[in-house]
Structure 1
Amino acid sequence: MGYAKYFTGLLCSIVFSVLFVQPLHTQNSDENEYGSWLALCGTTKLHEDWSIPTVGIIRHHHMLDRYGFFFFRTGASYRISKASSFTGGFALLNSNSYLEPNDVINTNQFWIYGEYTLKSKFNDNSIAHRLRLENRRLINTEDPKVNNRIRYRLQFKRPIYKDVYFKAFDEVFLNVEGNVFNQNRIFVGVGRQITPSLKADIGYFNRKFRNSSEDMIRLSLSFNIDLTKNDLAQNSD
């Protein structure tokens, strides 16, 4: 009976995800080649209610080739309750824009952000909502353009077998000014809880803009460090 329950839930999840991804996939870029999205995400718990998030991302237009951008984000998170938290901080981004094959423009951005996260569980499934506000601006340039946007992500996670799980999320980006739609991101894949403090996800990742779409393989490694378990107050001296 247990296997039947997992199989039914997994089948429904895959069918839903395939139906949702298909219209995005048909609008792929002219090159029709998968890029790569490598992410390292971590949380360091400093106190019962306080922690430091850390995210690093490297994006390539082709699989591990043709550098797109490097992104780093950190800040401070406060646990409001067992199910919700608030995070604020900053981020840095370095990116390449390819106007022509031999014409590459490198830019840097500085972000300030604030986000609210709400998690819930039903049976063995988990759902997470994330609402984020971002202020982004170009730096080291004579024209420091500023962009404010809102992001909402809905994430679903379901165990498949033992330490292996199915994971999917959809995130929409909306501009505060100008054209409202900025982009939409969707991920469908599997992951494994390698240790209690380390897990890895891999799967299909799509970014859809107004006039283009990018297909990627996304690999994410997530870790958790709990410094509250170390009793630094004790000293044998």
Structure 2
Amino acid sequence: MRLTAKHPLPSFTAWIAALAASSSLHAADAIAWPDNYQSRLQVQALVQTINANILASTSATLTLEKWCADHAMSATPKVTAHLLRGVTKTASAEQRARLQVAADTPIRYRRVQLYCGGHLLSEADNWYVPERLTPAMNRLLDETDTPFGKAVLPLAPYRRTLAASTLWSPLPDKWETGQVPLPAAQATALDLPSALFEHTAVLYTSAHLPFSEVRETYQRGLLDFPPPPAR
């Protein structure tokens, strides 16, 4: 049977071809760090660098945005928040004490994922005191996916870290002493876990008034850029 322009098969075939081409493109764009000593050392240095940068910063969001720009992770290196609605976590008595509020003071909860382009950089739980923010800030947080750090920038905030923990290391503890065997090189890509490190911090206004507690879990998307060339 001769196919005509009205026959559905050619358009379906074209769709399949386009889908295959798209899949190949995404596979080609996937970032893979080799599983060898040099690569593990580079990953260790990078994770320690971004960890230290965030701990030393007044805004995790702005630090992530600079990291995204410095490593050309997106044509538009802007951190955006994906708000996870319908998730609630009640503030504990200890959190209320750190925020210096009474037992009946309203505290809101917000959970977001922070992205740069298509790269998931962080997942964050945030408890904040709405009466210590402006109406405009509360509106942004209630009605939009604006990252918390950007919404509260007019407060000139700073942060005090309560806890910082490493969730994964590409090299074993005490590797530098030579007493612990290093992982053998593999022909496959380095298996990066979802979560790399975690911070808990309290945010203060420039007048030293606490207004938010945040727990941030930083993701392997921080390493979504090509490894440095081998030397």
Q: Provide the TM-score with structure 1 as the length reference.
A: 0.29
Q: Which has the higher strand share?
A: 1
Q: Provide the TM-score with structure 2 as the length reference.
A: 0.30
Q: Which has the higher helix share?
A: 2
